Amino acid sequence: MTSKPLATIVSGGLSKFGRLKGKYAREIFMEAAEEAFNRCLNLDPKRDIEALFIGLMGESYERQAHTGPTMVDWMNLLPLPAARIESACASSGVALRYGIYALLSGMHDVVMVGGAEKMTHRTTPEVTEFLAMGADFPFEQWNGITFPGLYALMATAHMHRYGTREEQMAMVAVKNHRNGALNPKAHMRREVTLEQAMSSRVIAWPLKLYDCSLISDGASCLILTRPELAGKFTDTPVHIIGSGQASDAIGIYERSSLTNLAASKKAGREAYKMAGVKPREIDLAEVHDCFTIAEIMAYEDLGLCRPGEGGSLLEEGVTTLEGEIPVNTSGGLKAKGHPVGATGTAQAYEVYLQLTGGAGERQVKGAETGLTHNVGGSGASAVVHIYRRG
Amino acid sequence: MTSKPLATIVSGGLSKFGRLKGKYAREIFMEAAEEAFNRCLNLDPKRDIEALFIGLMGESYERQAHTGPTMVDWMNLLPLPAARIESACASSGVALRYGIYALLSGMHDVVMVGGAEKMTHRTTPEVTEFLAMGADFPFEQWNGITFPGLYALMATAHMHRYGTREEQMAMVAVKNHRNGALNPKAHMRREVTLEQAMSSRVIAWPLKLYDCSLISDGASCLILTRPELAGKFTDTPVHIIGSGQASDAIGIYERSSLTNLAASKKAGREAYKMAGVKPREIDLAEVHDCFTIAEIMAYEDLGLCRPGEGGSLLEEGVTTLEGEIPVNTSGGLKAKGHPVGATGTAQAYEVYLQLTGGAGERQVKGAETGLTHNVGGSGASAVVHIYRRG
C-alpha cells in the first residue's frame, strides 16, 4: 500500500438518481458538476480545469451525440477540450481511466471526468433496444436476446456449476436495497424482503424483477489532479492507486466460460498489482450489480472469495454494511439506480465519499482503501480502480 | 521545429473508402488493421499493442455500440483494453489525441488508434438524421436544420462579410476531386470541372451537390509508440509534435461569429505552439472539408491566410498539389469520402504516407511537416495535430 498514486480525487458530484422528468442529460450533469465545484472552494473551474472526459452510452435516448462540447457549453467552460467515451455501461469507468492518462501525460494538471444518461423518458422497449446495442448485433441482438436474457444464461450456468441458489441472488437485492434506503440520492430508497424479491415477477428465469437494476436518469463527476497538486484544492484527497481495463469477446457465445467475466478478472489483477493491494485488504467496494448474479460473479472475479463461493459470502454477511468488506454501500446499480453512462464515476463518487467520511448514515467506519468495478454489456469490457484515503 | 515529439507513428492502415456492401464496420476496420500490421513487420500485434482508442460516431447505423471490444475481438487481440471515442465527425481525431495521452502517461509503450463508420446501407434521410445528432437537439434538430443547412448559414455569412463567391467554393471541389482521382482508395476517383460543380443541384443554397462531402463506409488506423521505441518497429517514423483540441458552443446560434470556427482556431494555436511551427511552415495539410466552405474557413482559422482571404488562396493555387501548401492531397472528405468516425485518423494516415514518401501519384516532393484538422459537427469540437518526418 505504498505505491505512488496515479492521480488524486479532490472533489466529486452526483445528481439525484431517479426519474428526473423534463430535464436533459446536460441539465442533470450540471447538477453533479455544481456539487463538485461547490465542494472544492479553491477550484476556479474556468481557470483550473483543462479537459473533460465524459461517459455516455447512448446517443439514441436524446438523439444527442457530441456530448463533450454539449456539457462544456452548459457548464460555461468553453473552450475546454472534451469528448465522449463509450464502452456500454462501463463508459464513465473508462472516462475515469482516460482522465488518469491525461494527468500522467503531463499535458494537464486538473481534469474533470464524469458520466450521464437520461433514460426514463423512453419506453421500456425502447430502453431495452438501446441498451442491447452494447451486445453483439449480428449474433445476439438479431436473434432477439437482450441483457436480462444474457445474464440469465450466466445465472443458470452458475447455478448448474456451483449450486448457486435463487435465494442467494435475492440476498444481493435485499442487501443493496437496504443500503440504498440510506442514500438520499438513490433512485429507490426502499428496503425489500427476501420474500418480496423471491416472489417478484420473472423477467428472464431465474432473474426476477428484483434481480434487475433500475432504468434511471442521473449524472456523476470527479475532479482529478496530479497528486502533488492536490493540497492546493482539498484537505481530504483520495488517491487513485490502481487502474485496470480489459476487453472480452462481444458475444457471450464466443466465451470459454459463462460463470465468470474474464475481463473483470484481468482488469482486477492489473489494478491490484499496480496498487500493491490484495483483494481482502480492500475496506469496501462498489461492484457492477446490473443483475444480482453479476454481483456474485464480481466477488469471485475480484478475488473476494473463490470461484463458486459468492453465494456463501452473501450468506455469511461479509459484504453487508456491517461486514468485513461492505459492497455497494451506495445501494449499487440495483437500488441507487443505473443511468448507464453515469455509473462508473458514480461508483467512484461513493468510494470518494466513504474514504473522506462523507457517506452519512451508510458510512463505513475507518475505511482507508476502496475499489470500483464497472462492466460494459455482458462483460465485453471491464474497468477496475483502487483508491486510498490521502 | 526542434520540439520533442509527443509520440511516433510507426505504421498505419486505411480500408478502401466507398460503398462497401455487405460488410460490417468491424470487417472494414480489419482491412485497415491488416494493412497496418503488414506494413510493420517487426510488430507482433498480440504481444506489442497495449490499448486501442477507436472513433465511431453513430451507434444507430449498425445498432452497435461497444465498439472497443468489438474491434479487439475481430482483430483477435483480446483482452486488449479498448473503448470508443465520440466527438461527432472529430471522433478519431480525438482518439489519436487520447492515444498520445496514453503513451505520454508512461502506462503504455505501443497503442493503436483508429476509426470506422458504416453508413451507406442506410437511406439518405436516415444518414442525415443520424449525423444531425452531432448538432444540438433541442434548438437545432428539433427545428429541422441539418448539416448542409448549418454550413449554408456559414457560407452565406462568409459571402456577405468577405465577398466569397460560389465559384471559389466550387474550386475546392475541383481541387479535391483532382487529388482524389489519384488516390486508389478514394470513394470518388473522378475529376469534376468548375462548370459541373457550379451547375450541380442545390442542396442548401449556396451549397450544391459538389459542395458536400460523401456518405461513405471506411476505416483507418495508426500504430503509435513512444518516440524512443520507434526504431524497433520502423525505419520511416513520423513524429507527432503538436496536438490541440478545443470545444465551442454546440449550437451555432450561440456563437459570436459564423465566418470562422473558434474551436479550430484555438486547437490550431495550441498545436502550432507545442510544435514550434508557424502556419506557413507546414508543407501540406489535410483539413476538414465536410463542405467546401469548411475548407475555406479552415485556411483562415489555421492561419494559412488572413480571415476572408480563403477564396483568394484557392484562386492563387496555393493549396493545389503543385502549390506551396497542398491541402487535402488525399481527395479530402469531398472526394476520398467521409465515413465520419474514420475521418480523423484517415487524415493522419494521409500525412503519414506523404511524410514517408508513400503517396504514389499524389506524392508531395520533399514534404517534411504536415498538419491534420478534424472538426466535429458544425464546429463544436476541433482537433489539430502536427507531424514531422523522422
Encode pLDDT of A220-262 as tens digits: 999 999 999 999 999 999 999 999 999 999 999 999 999 999 9
Q: Which of A70, A79, A94 sits opposite B263 (nearest CB)?
A: A79
Give the length of chain B: 390
The residues facing A247 across adjacent strands are A381
Each residue's pLDDT, cut to its tens digit, for chain A (390 residues) gives 456 899 999 999 999 999 999 999 999 999 999 999 999 989 999 999 999 999 999 999 999 999 999 999 999 999 999 999 999 999 999 999 999 999 999 999 999 999 999 999 999 999 999 999 999 999 999 999 999 999 999 999 999 999 999 999 999 999 999 999 999 999 999 999 999 999 999 999 999 999 999 999 999 999 999 999 999 999 999 999 999 999 999 999 999 999 999 999 999 999 999 999 999 999 999 999 999 999 999 999 999 999 999 999 999 999 999 999 999 999 999 999 999 999 999 999 999 999 999 999 999 999 999 999 999 999 999 999 999 999
Q: Which residue of B has its CA nearest to A130?
A: B63
Task: Write a three-state SS string for chain B.
Answer: CCCCCCEEEEEEEECCCECCCCCCHHHHHHHHHHHHHHHCCCCCHHHHCCCEEEECCCCCCCCCCCHHHHHHHHCCCCCCCEEEEEECECHHHHHHHHHHHHHHCCCCCEEEEEEEECCCCCCHHHHHHHHHCCCCCCCCHHHCCCHHHHHHHHHHHHHHHHCCCHHHHHHHHHHHHHHHCCCCCCCCCCCCCHHHHHHCCEEECCEEHHHECCCCEEEEEEEEECHHHHHHCCCCCEEEEEEEEEECCCCHHHCCCCCCCHHHHHHHHHHHHHHCCCHHHCCEEECCCCEHHHHHHHHHHCCCCCCCCHHHHHHCCCCCCCCCCCECCCCHHHHCCCCHHHHHHHHHHHHHHHHCCCCHHHCCCCCCEEEEEEEECCCCEEEEEEEEEC
pLDDT tens-digit series, residues A137-164: 999 999 999 999 999 999 999 999 999 9
- Domain positions in chain B: 7-122+216-238, 148-214+239-389
B388: left (phi over 0), alpha (psi -120 to 50) or beta: beta
Question: What's the helix, strand, coil split of chain A in %, to 5?
Answer: 40, 20, 40
Query: What pTM does this model have?
Result: 0.98
The answer to whether residue B354 scores a pLDDT higher than 50 is: yes
Asked if the Cβ–Cβ distance from B88 to A66 is below 8 Å, we say yes
Residue B294: how many other CB atoms lie within 10 Å? 28
Asked if the Cβ–Cβ distance from B84 to A85 is below 8 Å, we say yes
State residue A2's pLDDT score.
Answer: 52
Q: Is the ipTM of this complex over 0.95?
A: yes
Residues of B with a known catalytic role: 89, 338
Is residue A26 within 8 A of residue A74, CB to CB? The reply is: yes
Instruction: Report the pLDDT averaged over residues B354-375.
Output: 98
Asked if the Cβ–Cβ distance from B87 to A88 is below 8 Å, we say no
- Please give, rounded to a whole number of angstroms, the shortest distance from the CA of B111 to a CA of chain A: 13
Would you tell me which residues 132-171 of chain B have a C-beta closer than 8 angstroms to some C-beta of chain A?
132-138, 141
Rounded Cα gap, residues A66 and A51, in angstroms = 15
* pLDDT over 70, % of chain B: 99
3-class state of residue A376 by DSSP: strand
CATH number belonging to domain B7-122+216-238: 3.40.47.10
Residue B280: how many other CB atoms lie within 10 Å? 11
Cα dihedral B87, B89, B92, B95 in deg (nearest 10): -10
C-alpha distances in angstroms, A146 versus A56, A128, A142, A156, A380?
Answer: 20, 7, 10, 16, 15
> Where do the H-state alpha helices sit in A207-342?
262-275, 292-301, 310-315, 332-335
Annotation says A338 is catalytic: yes
Residues of chain A contacting residue B290, judged by C-beta atoms under 8 Å apart = none
CATH number belonging to domain A148-214+239-389: 3.40.47.10
Rounded Cα gap, residues B267 and B382, in angstroms = 6
With residue A242 as reference, give the H or E element that holds it.
Answer: strand A238-247
Residue A104 touches chain B, beta carbons under 8 Å: yes
The answer to whether residue B321 scores a pLDDT higher than 50 is: yes
- A174, amino acid identity: V
C-alpha distances in angstroms, B271 versus B264, B311, B372, B377?
Answer: 10, 24, 10, 20
